[in-house]
Amino acid sequence: MKIINCKVIVTCPGRNFVTVKIETDEGVYGIGDATLNGRELAVVSYLEDHLFPCLIGRDPQQIEDIWQYMYRGAYWRRGPVTMAAIGGIDIALWDIKGKIAGLPLYELLGGRSRDGVMVYGHANGVDIEETVDEVAKYIDLGYKAIRAQSGVPGIPSIYGVTEDKMFYEPADEGLPAENVWSTEKYMNHTPKLFEKLREKFGFEHHLLHDAHHRLTPIQAARLGKDLEPYRLFWLEDVVPAENQENFRWIRQHTTTPLAVGEVFNSIHDCQQLFSEQLIDYIRATVVHAGGITHFRRIANLADLYNVRTGCHGPTDLSPVCMGAALHFDTWVPNFGIQEYMRHTEQTDEVFPHDYSFKDGYLYAGSAPGHGVDIDEKLAARYPYKRAYLPVNRLEDGTLYNW
Ligand code: GCO
Ligand code: MG
């Protein structure tokens, strides 16, 4: 079997998605997601100009060899653009392997470890009252786990709190909007949200929260402590993880479980956090962490240290990523949870898929491969649009993390 054609399809049915399609001389093809939010076209160039030409004529069944060729062969290892491009191809190759075998991807990985994959939804409101109402809606939909984010008095607009409730996180067309941020105001407000949520709903549901890299280590330690009475499932991205020693600090002060890693792209980003047992959940994805082939290594290393997976699943990754992640989650022994921000109807139409939601769980489906396809005709109706998530400035104008 030989690869005879590779292409990339960029479509924007709400958000921009970069999709890899690999075709073989036997008519079987595979689909992969290579979306890198806000830097989509850099990945397109990496794929078209540098990786696709090397794939023509190769046997698509040699996934490991192709992965090593793309990673070692480039000399320039790691990095979000490189790893998203490798990830997109790797996912497509696993899709092909599943289709040849006539087996769903989780069977190739080692079979099912669970029936369904517990997911968390996103509830957000302009204030505590609205957030409480939004959490109630997710509970009514059957969710067992809900991430709660609320607007903060005195901060006019916060990334993570949008007007669109069920199909959260539209990106703004054009250049990034600028928000204003105050960690002090946020720190005073957030424990009150969780106090209200536990008062109203009790302790039956898992609650999660994302600080989106906006705290210093000492602030993170304080927030973790303040949230302890509300027993969060996790507190996410309290500080940027470039300096991983920060986590030693935070860890010594709080028993609130910590999650990090949605911007990680390699096992080397994880090693210290795992081996020193500084985190509880790893948030990387099959797309940004170099595909199933590399993410599997990350999960295996995590397992040695009792770290569980909590794959990133935002609406800026396509249903192809979600499909592949769900097969991975169905297999991986040290599974924790899967993020599930619902895609818009247009996005779901462009990417027909076999997975389904029921009572707080997503089910991967039994179609061969990862079970997600792309309707190319429909995709062509939604051309790329320059769009970004916002940036943040402190109240005095200093550029800050968003
Ligand atoms: C999450 C994330 C996302 C990211 C987005 C960046 O926890 O889902 O924080 O909302 O901000 O994916 O591209
Ligand atoms: Mg996050």
pLDDT digits (tens, 9 = 90+) for 198-220: 999 999 999 999 999 999 999 99
**In CATH, 109-366 is 3.90.1150.10:** no
Judge whether 213 counts as a catalytic residue. Answer: no
CATH code for the domain defined by 3-104: 3.30.390.10
Q: Where are the domains of the chain?
A: 3-104, 109-366
pLDDT value of position 167: 66
User: Which ligand 1 atom is nearest residue 160's CA?
Assistant: 10
Q: Which of 122, 189, 206, 212 is catalytic?
A: 212
One of 159, 168, 340, 361 is an active-site residue; which one?
Answer: 159
DSSP, res 345? H
Residue 79 confidence (pLDDT)? 97
Ligand nearest to the CA of 160: 1
Active-site annotation holds for 159: yes
Contact 83, 71 (CB under 8 A): no
Tokens, residue 361: 């769980």
Distance CA 152, CA 158 (A): 8
Q: Atom 10 of ligand 1 has which residue's CA nearest to it?
A: 314
pLDDT in tens, the chain (402 residues): 999 999 999 999 999 999 999 999 999 999 999 999 999 999 999 999 999 999 999 999 999 999 999 999 999 999 999 999 999 999 999 999 999 999 999 999 999 999 999 999 999 999 999 999 999 999 999 999 999 999 999 988 887 777 777 666 778 899 999 999 999 999 999 999 999 999 999 999 999 999 999 999 999 999 999 999 999 999 999 999 999 999 999 999 999 999 999 999 999 999 999 999 999 999 999 999 999 999 999 999 999 999 999 999 999 999 999 999 999 999 999 999 999 999 999 999 999 999 999 999 999 999 999 999 999 999 999 999 999 999 999 999 999 999
User: What whole-number distance in Å separates Cα of residue 204 and Cα of residue 158?
Assistant: 28
Closest residue CA from atom 6 of ligand 1: 37
Q: Whose CA is nearest to atom 1 of ligand 1?
A: 314
**Look-up: residue for tokens 């509970």?**
139
Cβ atoms of 269 and 242 closer than 8 Å: no
> Could you write out the DSSP letters of every residue in 72-140?
HTTSS---HHHHHHHHHHHHHHHHHHHHHHT-BHHHHHT--S-SSEEEEEEEEESSHHHHHHHHHHHHH
Ligand 1 surroundings by CB, under 6 angstroms: 37, 169, 210, 212, 262, 312, 314, 316, 339, 389
pLDDT digits (tens, 9 = 90+) for 166-179: 666 778 899 999 99
Quick one: three-class SS letters along 132-154? Answer: HHHHHHHHHCCCCEEEEEECCCC
Ligand nearest, relative to CA of residue 321? 1
- The whole-number pLDDT of residue 168 equals 60
Residue 380: the pLDDT is: 98
